[in-house]
Amino acid sequence: MSKKIGILTGGGDAPGLNQVIRAAVFYGVKNFGYEFVAIEDGWKGLLEGKSRPLTVDEVRDWIYEGGTLIGSSRTNPFKHEDGGKICRENFEKMGLDAIIALGGEDTLGVAYKLYKEYEIPTVGAPKTIDNDLPGTDQCFGFDTAINRVMEAFDRLRTTARSHHRILVVEVMGRHAGWMTLVGGIAGGADIILLPEEPFDLDGVAEQLKKLREQGRQYALVAVSEGAKLKFAEGMDIITQDAELDEFGHVRLGGIAKVLAKELQKRTDWEARHVVLGHLQRGGAPTAFDRWFATQLGVAAVEQIAKDNYGVMVVLKEGKIVPVSLEEAAKGIRTVPEELVEFKKIFEP
**Residue numbers at the binding site for ligand F6P (CB under 6 A):** 12, 128-130, 172-174, 225, 252, 281
3-state secondary structure of 260: helix
Residue 93 CA to its chain's centroid (Å): 32
* Smallest distance from ligand F6P to CB 73, Å: 10
Q: What letter does residue 328 receive in the DSSP assignment?
A: G
Contact 140, 289 (CB under 8 A): yes
Contact 253, 222 (CB under 8 A): no
Minimum distance from residue 283 beta carbon to ligand F6P (Å): 14
Closest CA to 100 of 48, 51, 173: 51
Q: How far is the CB of 249 from ligand F6P (least distance, A)?
A: 8
**Distance between CA atoms of 235 and 239, rounded to whole angstroms?**
13
Q: b or e along 262-295 (b: 16 or more beta carbons within 10 Å of the residue's beta carbon)?
A: bbbebbebebbbbbbeeebbeebbbeebbbbbbb
Which CB atom, from 252 or from 263, has the smaller least distance to ligand F6P?
Answer: 252
CB of 74 to ligand F6P, least distance (A): 7
Rounded CA separation 278/291 (Å) = 23
Question: What's the CA angle centered on 184, arms 180 and 189, to 5 degrees?
Answer: 135
Closer to ligand F6P by Cβ: residue 128 or 303 = 128
Choose, from 41, 130, 132, 143, the residue flagged as catalytic: 130
Give the nearer residue to ligand F6P in terms of CB position, either 96 or 176.
Answer: 176
Q: 67's torsion region: left (phi>0), alpha (psi -120 to 50) or beta?
A: left
Closest CA to 256 of 279, 272, 270: 272
Instruction: Tell me how far, at minimum, the Cβ of 299 lies from ligand F6P, in Å.
Output: 23
Q: Is residue 130 flagged as an active site residue?
A: yes
Gap between the Cα atoms of 316 and 327, Å rounded: 13
What is the nearest approach in angstroms of ligand F6P to the Cβ of residue 88? 27
> Edge-to-edge, what's the strand order for the sheet holding 311-316?
51-54, 35-39, 4-9, 98-103, 122-126, 311-316, 319-324
Instruction: Point out the residues that are catalytic.
Output: 130
